[in-house]
Amino acid sequence: MDEFERIALIKKKIKPSSKVLVGIGDDTAVLRSPRGKMLITVDALVEGVHFDLRYASPEDVGHKALAVNLSDIAAMGGKPLYAVVSLGCGKSHGPAFLDAFYNGLLALAKSHDVAVVGGNLTSSPHFFADVTVVGEVKGAALTRSGMKKGDWIGVVGSLGSAAMGLASLRKRDRAALTPAVKKVQTAQLRPQPLLREGQALQKTKGVSALIDVSDGLASELHHLARASSVGVEIRADYLPIDPAVRRLSSTLSLDPLSAALYGGEDYALLVSGAPRALNSVQRALRRLGQNLVVIGEATRAKQVVMRLGEGAAEPLLPRGWNHWATQ
């Protein structure tokens, strides 16, 4: 199967969209331009670095390759419009693999009204999937730099599940597929980007900064603090850690707090806002069946600290999952 046959296979799977004037098959796609401001982001998943095909299905990889980018759009309060997909495929990634990869990717695209408008296919010694997403935002995007001293800091979504899921998948113990195991494995393999939540936050007055938790909470708190030139103090016992994470902790030898702080890949939203905005943020999120969990506040001191129980505040290091360390 050559490049053109593979492209024909993909083209057949993709539904037309009224936003798309010229889709796959010309030198570029021709599209309706974003309304308001344009957002763009790119993220790559590399086999053996970001996923392992011994426990992730091709559908999982397709889902996640798009999800991580949609989460970045969510973290600006934006709406995704288009995706382009660039794949490097080895000999073992034939038509069945591509078909399954696109099933996972296109199902997620459809559920968020994202049009897949183009891509690239090349041979490569290792499989990689590089997805670029374009979105739009009316009004101001929510950046990392608007947090002010005295703002509350909260989390939408839960923390530690994806890391616990990875620990579980690495054990590959098929006998133990309890509901808790299923839940954390799904969090790792099929993260759900919180797009409606991000958009609701962008429309709510007094929200000051927003970021998604991809590298790990500790690392993202440092990003927020640095970009906003403030400090951060959080309380460990406020963190929204799923009961499934606590339940699996001893079996999988992974401390729930470490998973929540350093595990990453949860794609929860980390948000800050003025005290007067707290009620309207809670109302907006509850309308979506979600909840804001306040975990701390922005401080004058330019450091990131965590208070554990009744103890003193200890510095929180910007550790996170670092794929460079795996080299």
State in angstroms the smallest separation of the CB of 238 from a copy of itself.
Answer: 24
Whether the CB-CB separation of 97 and 19 falls below 8 Å is answered with no
CA dihedral (109, 114, 119, 125) positive or negative: negative
Region 87-116 residues binding a copy of itself, contact defined as CB under 8 A:
88, 90-91
Where residue 109 falls (left for φ over 0; alpha for ψ -120 to 50; beta otherwise) is alpha
Whether the CB-CB separation of 220 and 287 falls below 8 Å is answered with no
Whether the CB-CB separation of 151 and 297 falls below 8 Å is answered with yes
User: Cα–Cα distance between 196 and 203 in angstroms, integer?
Assistant: 11
Q: Is 193 in the site for a copy of itself (CB under 8 A)?
A: no
Q: Is 300 in the site for a copy of itself (CB under 8 A)?
A: no
- Report residue 311 as tokens: 């103890």
State in angstroms the smallest separation of the CB of 25 from a copy of itself.
Answer: 7
Q: Is 227 in the site for a copy of itself (CB under 8 A)?
A: yes
Give the count of residues interacting with a copy of itself (CB under 8 A). Answer: 70
User: Cα–Cα distance between 290 and 293 in angstroms, integer?
Assistant: 10
Q: Is 265 in the site for a copy of itself (CB under 8 A)?
A: no
State in angstroms the smallest separation of the CB of 116 from a copy of itself.
Answer: 11
State in angstroms the smallest separation of the CB of 193 from a copy of itself.
Answer: 11
Residue 84 or 281 having the CB closest to a copy of itself: 84
Q: Which of 214, 174, 169 is nearest to 56 (CA)?
A: 169
Whether the CB-CB separation of 292 and 281 falls below 8 Å is answered with yes
What track of x and - describes contact with a copy of itself for positions 113 through 142 (by CB under 8 A)? ----xxxx-xxxxx-x-x-x-xxxx---x-
Q: Which residues of this protein are in contact with a copy of itself, per CB under 8 A?
A: 2-3, 21-22, 25-44, 46, 48-50, 72-73, 75-76, 78, 82, 84-86, 88, 90-91, 117-120, 122-126, 128, 130, 132, 134-137, 141, 143-145, 210-212, 227, 322-327
